[in-house]
Structure 1
Amino acid sequence: MTLGKRALALIFPVILSGYVLAASLIYYVQSSSILGLERARLWQQMGLLTAVFQNDVTQNRSFIYSLVEGGAVRLFINERDPAYRSTALGVRLQQSITSLSDDQRRFISVAIIRPPLTVDYYFEDSDDPFAQITPQQLDHARQVIASPRLSSWSYLDEPGLDPLIVHSEFIDPLTFNRPVASAKGGAILVQTAVRPRAFLDMKRGLEKEYGAAIEISRHQFLSQGALSATATLGPSLFARLTPDTVFLENRLRTLKTLLAVGAIALSLCTIGLVLLLVRRYITNPIARLDRQLTDVMTGSRSALPDMHEAGEIGRLSVNVKRLHDHSMKSFDLVQNASWTDTLTGISNREYFNIRSTQILEEAEAEDLGCTLLFIDVDNFKFVNDKHGHKIGDELLKTLAARISAIVTRITAANGLPEGLFARLSGDEFAIMLRCQPGCGTITQISNEILSLFAEGFEVLDKAYPVTASIGIAVYPEDAHTLAELIANADAAMYQAKSQGKNGSARYSRSLHEKRNRQRRIEEELRVLNPDEEFHLVYMPIVDGHGKVTGCEALLRWTSPLLGRVTPDEFIPIAETTGLFSKIDWWVIDRAMAEYGHIRKLFGAETILCINISSAELYTKSISDHFCDCADRHGVDARMIEIELTETFAVKLGEQSRRNIDILRARGFRISIDDFGAGYTSVQQIIEYPAETIKLDRELVESLTRSAALPTLRALVALCHAQDMSVIAEGVDTTEKMTLLAAAGCDFYQGYLISRPLTLEEIGVWAMQRMMEKARETISAGQRARA
């Protein structure tokens, strides 16, 4: 029997039985998995159904609050003339109701009821002009009036009628707030009802998919069978969906068929392929492979002649051994190379993680401590961008060599084990030492590293403006794992940066609390609803005559969990976690939606300034979003000024420059915000693609002194030479404004003019300014006549 036939006789039953067994196991496992997946999916669908229902309930509650806060309901209730109330005020109330709905197809009804059960007003957004309140809604109102509750909602689903979500709220006719319980008899009941169209559509879709009706009851359900799910729609409203048994059987039958067909097909294909491969790659070439491998390993021949020697397996074993020895030597060389940073020649992150883990295990076994120093080179990116990568690489190599020498010298002098020094990434380095704070070694190493940057770091006989920030974390006091140790040392390094750079900081409890707050802010940013927690305030910009020429939209966040969170806290977190787009897009849309009110207050030429993250310039969709929002809200693009931080222009990428060109081509204005806070050069001022420069408040503070007036004039003149208007931020005294005006500044912004105001407050502020100007005009006229 040939080797091929023997292979067929041996392989065929093994492969066939193996695939059959595998198919059986897969069916057994997958049947349970399918049941679990379908159960999880069913619960997920019921959860989504609950979310959709709760959204409709929330919208109905918001609708009634918005309606009560409007003036139309107040006028209607307080009007004593029934004829005038039912005609003119009824129409006005109807218009207010219609304006509050952003979906014209959505059914909404509003009723105003006086106890005991007198319907003063009823309106519904339907095709029936003579529609009246339904008995079910009246029953709900009767129940609320009879109960001690001041507000209530209910889901009305009666046969023959479309389901409704009804919300009833008592209001005091004098204060228009929720009355106290003792004054309920004299209060007015406002009732709104909406048809949960999204909920009903999703409910019908689920019923069609699972072949069973969704049960809704005011009593809590119990799950029925293996595939059943319940949901809590409200405090006393529950739903249950129990799919038909045929639903799961169909899926299992399909799985069984596919596995049977697959097992047979794979068996035949595998057997044919194995036989082909055995014949081609084993039986025929085995002798030739042995001779070729022997010649290659010994290097005795350059050609490979045919040979007919016996004992191929023996020689093949010897040659494999030789190949293995050579491979192991090569592997050692490759591994050493893979653990070394190619630029600096010190250890890299991979080796640092491996060796640090071993060090921590040894320290735990010996009950000793370890200290991690996390080093970051401040301003390295600026040097790298300005002077080129060659200088940047040389700086890193020189720095690595000097720090390595410091660590080796100090650890040897103090009789400590050799320290582990590695480059983690870019301009970040780490030192792991087998010692604890208190022995002086950590302080000595930190001070000597920082002294390298005392007068700029010298590379190739030239000093560069870089410093170092060092974060220190100790095991096991500050962390119990390597990941925690690195994270805590990194947090301490950022603390050192915030203290002025070129310094060191030890991880502390305050840092832990700060990191926890940052984590909580990040978690809240991921789940928040911007419409509920965000709002905008506006800070006016005036010219030299005091005329308002623009308003800057500023974001404010009030979190139900965290309270008020300042932009200085959450904006950096949003940018580092990639959540800035969610914030910027909401700010753009809301600011343009409210621009019409700003325009009415200050005139058609008022500029709206919108701040966006510089990181947005590296996305392709930001220009389209600006244009879409402007078109949707009817805003002239020329009246929108996009404010970007000054530091973004240190090095413009191709995509960011293209986005700026697109925005400017479509009419949007570009403003460079916080000018003077980064690394500004004359060349960068000349190349800035912007219409406006906003001087940073700290720059204004330092330049608004009489001695600095020539410098301020030169800076303003340079901006004017580039056809850029100049806005000064932080104008909080008349002396500053006088000096800025003397220097030729165009516009002013600061607390001397106004603090940031809400949309309602800025209307009051504008009215007060108008009244003040009117009084000044009258006084001037009186003085002229006198």
Structure 2
Amino acid sequence: MSLNKRLILLLLPVILLGYGVSTYLVYQYQKSNVIELEQAKLEQRMYQLQGIFKEEASTVDSLMALFLEGGYLSNFLQSTSSSYRDIALSQSLTLLTTQAQLNRNPRVSFALFSGDGEELFYFERSSDPFATISDEQNQMSMQMIKNRVSTDWRLFNDTSPSTVIRGRLLDKLALVPFKGRDVKDSIQLSFAVRMDMFSDYLESLKQSYQATIEWESRPTLFVNELGYSIRLSPSQFLTLKPNDSVLAKPLSQLSLQLTAIALFLAVFTFGLLVTLISRFITAPIGELDKELTQVMNYQKDNISLSANKSEIGQLSKKFHNLFEQLQSNLKKTHEMAITDTLTALPNRFRFYEYSRHVLAKANQENALVSLVYIDLDNFKFVNDKLGHEAGDDLLCFLAQDLQRLIEPILKQRGGCMASRLSGDEFAIVLTHATVKEVDDLAKSVVALFEGGYESDQYYFPVSASMGIASFPKDGKTLKELIANADMAMYNAKRSGKNCYSYYSVNIAAGARRTKMIEDALKMIDCDEEFFLVYMPYTDADDHIKGFEVLIRWNSPELGVIHPDEFIPIAEQTGSYAKIDRWVFETAFKSLPKVRRIFGEECILSINISAAELSHHSVLQHLDELKSQYQIDDKSIELELTETFSYVQTGSVFDVLNGLQNSGFSIAIDDFGVGYTPLLHMIDYPVNKVKLDKVLTERITDSQYAKLLPPLIQLCHLQDIVVTAEGIEDTFQLQCLKEAGCDFFQGFWLSKPMPLEELEDWYHVYRNKTPD
């Protein structure tokens, strides 16, 4: 979506919303004003109505006052009853109403009653010649006589039009307000005026406002709505409530006007903003975007320098400078992307890139290309014991040596590159004509590690294992060459390390066998395929003191597989835990039978996978087995290899201490073949060391026999007993006894045997061994 379209989508809703909210607020404000204006108009008209009422209502008071002051009543009462008297009073009343300026000829009536309620005279100024006294006027007169009310004023609003009546009750003789007891001595007179103007104006208001009229005893208070109350008498209020539709029209007109104005302003504002933003912002940005796109698509080297001094112009200048800098840094960045940051050798990406190019060229020219895959042996030992700084130092020095080795090849004919793939893995790609060239290069690398490897600051007890795969014999793609060189490298490791191995069919077969063993271990039923053998050892008096428990595997598909072959694979693939658990449980079950034959002091020595020692769960599992099979303390001895243990963390020692505290003895197997100094064994929470058979053979030789007693004594000083493994003859046995060795084990005594053969073997052994 273009910037202009986004601008429209962003601005239009905001402007419409802004003007909409503003219009709504203005409408609410003006609505109050409209209501206030209409209320003011209503109040004004109601005041006019009240004025008309007061004007018309005052007529009755004027007539009553003029009538009494003019002596018309006294003349009437003093005259004898006759038609002449009535006519004279009628003429007087006609003249009186004229004097009262009733120019609009309202209907006026006059009634005179005796104290006993007899109608004495009635006069009405109207066009009706047959008019009679109204019920309201008659009713009011009778109530005044009955209640002896001297004066009264009433508004009757239930008539049409409304009527105002003023009444007086006078003493018949004195013509003063009546205060006597006998109403027969009184006379009652009343004037009634019909409120034509008031009623007409009220009706016009009612129709104009479509209002409802209410006569109430108290005024109504109106808040935020139209309506008004006026007072017509002390006890009567007139309330006018207009219909809601009265305000609808002005409010609708107001709404339409405000909406039209808001829409006009919104459209005008939107158009103005879009024009200004497009001219001064989006157009320059669009131009800048166009140039940036051209630069990114390699259509231009850089954007044009802008002379504009605005922020966008400054941004354009910064992009111009940035691209100049990027161009200068591009080569450096590419170089860093293909170079290993630690060793400065080409990295894995560069290795793949170069190798594919070399293989494509070799395929066209029928040339030979070999891949030398290098992996350092015991590099983890360096990191763990000397630190990662020393490990980095080793890698950097090795990178320099590899570069130095290939330098003559590069000068002579090229076609060679050394690279670091990851960690302690290196690779050399070599284009060559003869196999001897690859062989010479591999020997040169091996020579770097003769007697270990040394840098300016460290001596490293490491070596290198190398695998070599060649194009096209060992693979026609880089993927195949890497896989086959890797297999050859692992074969070199198994062959003794610090050597190189060429890929071959046999190596591939070995890799396939390894894979088959891995797959078989995943699905194995331990009870069906594994079994244990027991190898005895004696003390200095030739008494059987215990047995080393060893595992054997007879696979239905693969046949007999030696532990040296499948145990490392099990440790690498994570299958060792299942195997160790089976070995422990089976051995614990067999201990009672072994002790029944060889005595209650006989113990079992069980190898524990070194990888298990980093997990505290092994301690819990062995404690549970010990409790389940009711094994006494010191009845089980756990053997672990020396070389692995020295590179472990503190968690391994926590597990070993926990095992000792739980009643297990700890022995170091294959002692004397690792890199760890002999005195380091004082750090171990162990009870026994087992001299490796290679060490046993070496130190029982006459040339080194003098080293044997100090070695054994050194162990005894640490309260560690010593077992010699791999004893082949009685000469070695005698040497070891004389040196103070504690226990003895080897083929001189017996080969490992199944549990079922132990009793028969022991009978034979006892018969040929003197007590």
TM tier, smaller: 0.5 to 0.7
The answer to whether the 8 A contact 2:281-2:312 is kept is no
1:422-441 aligned at under 5 Å gives the runs: 422-438=419-435, 440-441=436-437
What is residue 767 of structure 1 aligned with on the other side?
Answer: 763
Distance 1:330 1:608, change over 3 A: farther
Secondary structure of 2:432's aligned partner: coil
Task: Pick one of 527, 542, 557 that aligns with 1:531.
Answer: 527
Is residue 2:351 matched to residue 1:352?
yes
What is residue 730 of structure 1 aligned with on the other side?
Answer: 726
Secondary structure of 2:735's aligned partner: helix
Q: Deviations over 1:134-167 (max 9, x none)?
A: xxxxxxxxxxxxxxxxxxxxxxxxxxxxxxxxxx
Structure 2 residue identity aligned to 1:731: I
Secondary structure of 1:658's aligned partner: helix
Structure 1 residue identity aligned to 2:723: I
Structure 1 residue identity aligned to 2:701: R
What is residue 630 of structure 2 aligned with on the other side?
Answer: 634
Q: Deviations over 1:148-205 (max 9, x none)?
A: xxxxxxxxxxxxxxxxxxxxxxxxxxxxxxxxxxxxxxxxxxxxxxxxxxxxxxxxxx
What is residue 743 of structure 1 aligned with on the other side?
Answer: 739
Q: Deviations over 1:382-427 (max 9, x none)?
A: 45555544444333212211211221222322x232x221112333
The answer to whether the 8 A contact 1:436-1:474 is kept is no
Report deviation, 1:765.
1.7
Is residue 2:359 matched to residue 1:363?
no
Report deviation, 1:692.
0.6
Report deviation, 1:701.
0.8
Q: Once superposed, what is the RMSD of the aligned Cα atoms?
A: 3.8
Task: Pick one of 407, 413, 416 that aligns with 2:414.
Answer: 416
Distance 1:5 1:412, change over 3 A: closer
1:185-204 aligned at under 5 Å gives the runs: none
Task: Pick one of 617, 626, 637 that aligns with 1:621.
Answer: 617
Report deviation, 1:364.
3.4
Q: More displaced, 651-660 or 720-729?
A: 651-660
CA distance in 1, matches of 2:633, 2:367: 65
Secondary structure of 1:434's aligned partner: strand
The answer to whether the 8 A contact 1:728-1:749 is kept is yes
Distance 1:396 1:604, change over 3 A: same
Distance 1:357 1:622, change over 3 A: farther
What is residue 177 of structure 1 aligned with on the other side?
Answer: none
The answer to whether the 8 A contact 2:610-2:645 is kept is no
The answer to whether the 8 A contact 1:705-1:739 is kept is no
Report deviation, 1:596.
2.0
Distance 1:326 1:516, change over 3 A: same
Distance 1:587 1:715, change over 3 A: same
What is residue 40 of structure 1 aligned with on the other side?
Answer: none
Structure 1 residue identity aligned to 2:414: L
1:170-569 aligned at under 5 Å gives the runs: 333-413=332-412, 415-417=413-415, 419-438=416-435, 440-454=436-450, 456-460=452-456, 464-569=460-565
Q: More displaced, 473-482 or 354-363?
A: 354-363
The answer to whether the 8 A contact 2:544-2:602 is kept is yes
Secondary structure of 2:634's aligned partner: helix
1:561-710 aligned at under 5 Å gives the runs: 561-710=557-706
Distance 1:313 1:614, change over 3 A: same
Structure 2 residue identity aligned to 1:425: S
CA distance in 1, matches of 2:458, 2:607: 39
CA distance in 2, matches of 1:622, 1:479: 45
Distance 1:284 1:561, change over 3 A: farther
Secondary structure of 2:719's aligned partner: coil
The answer to whether the 8 A contact 1:540-1:551 is kept is yes
CA distance in 2, matches of 1:668, 1:606: 14
Q: Deviations over 1:332-356 (max 9, x none)?
A: 6555334322221112233323432
Distance 1:331 1:602, change over 3 A: farther
The answer to whether the 8 A contact 1:290-1:312 is kept is no
Q: Deviations over 1:542-565 (max 9, x none)?
A: 111122211111000000100000
The answer to whether the 8 A contact 1:294-1:315 is kept is no
Distance 1:561 1:420, change over 3 A: same
CA distance in 2, matches of 1:472, 1:618: 35
Q: Deviations over 1:574-605 (max 9, x none)?
A: 12222221211211122112222222222222
What is residue 113 of structure 2 aligned with on the other side?
Answer: none
Structure 2: runs of 5+ lacking an equivalent: 14-273, 293-307
Structure 2 residue identity aligned to 1:492: A
Report deviation, 1:666.
1.4
Distance 1:292 1:770, change over 3 A: farther
CA distance in 1, matches of 2:529, 2:693: 28
Report deviation, 1:366.
4.5
CA distance in 1, matches of 2:335, 2:410: 24
Structure 1 residue identity aligned to 2:549: A
Secondary structure of 1:638's aligned partner: coil
Distance 1:452 1:627, change over 3 A: same
Distance 1:423 1:2, change over 3 A: closer
Secondary structure of 1:479's aligned partner: coil
Distance 1:741 1:292, change over 3 A: farther
The answer to whether the 8 A contact 1:691-1:723 is kept is yes
Distance 1:433 1:7, change over 3 A: same
The answer to whether the 8 A contact 1:726-1:747 is kept is yes
TM-score of the superposed pair, with normalisation by structure 2: 0.57
Structure 2 residue identity aligned to 1:376: D
The answer to whether the 8 A contact 2:521-2:575 is kept is yes
Distance 1:678 1:315, change over 3 A: same
CA distance in 2, matches of 1:447, 1:501: 13
TM-score of the superposed pair, with normalisation by structure 1: 0.56
Distance 1:567 1:329, change over 3 A: farther
Distance 1:436 1:316, change over 3 A: same
The answer to whether the 8 A contact 2:555-2:561 is kept is yes
Structure 1 residue identity aligned to 2:347: N
Report deviation, 1:312.
9.5
Secondary structure of 1:707's aligned partner: coil
CA distance in 2, matches of 1:672, 1:573: 22
The answer to whether the 8 A contact 1:609-1:643 is kept is yes
The answer to whether the 8 A contact 1:294-1:316 is kept is no
Structure 1 residue identity aligned to 2:576: F
CA distance in 2, matches of 1:3, 1:343: 48
Report deviation, 1:491.
2.7
CA distance in 2, matches of 1:353, 1:457: 28
Secondary structure of 2:707's aligned partner: helix
What is residue 303 of structure 2 aligned with on the other side?
Answer: none
Distance 1:291 1:501, change over 3 A: same
Report deviation, 1:368.
3.4
Distance 1:551 1:293, change over 3 A: farther
Higher Cα Rg, which structure: 2
The answer to whether the 8 A contact 1:468-1:502 is kept is yes
CA distance in 1, matches of 2:275, 2:580: 68
Structure 2 residue identity aligned to 1:364: N
CA distance in 1, matches of 2:566, 2:580: 12
What is residue 249 of structure 2 aligned with on the other side?
Answer: none
Number of residue pairs aligned between Structure 1 and Structure 2: 490
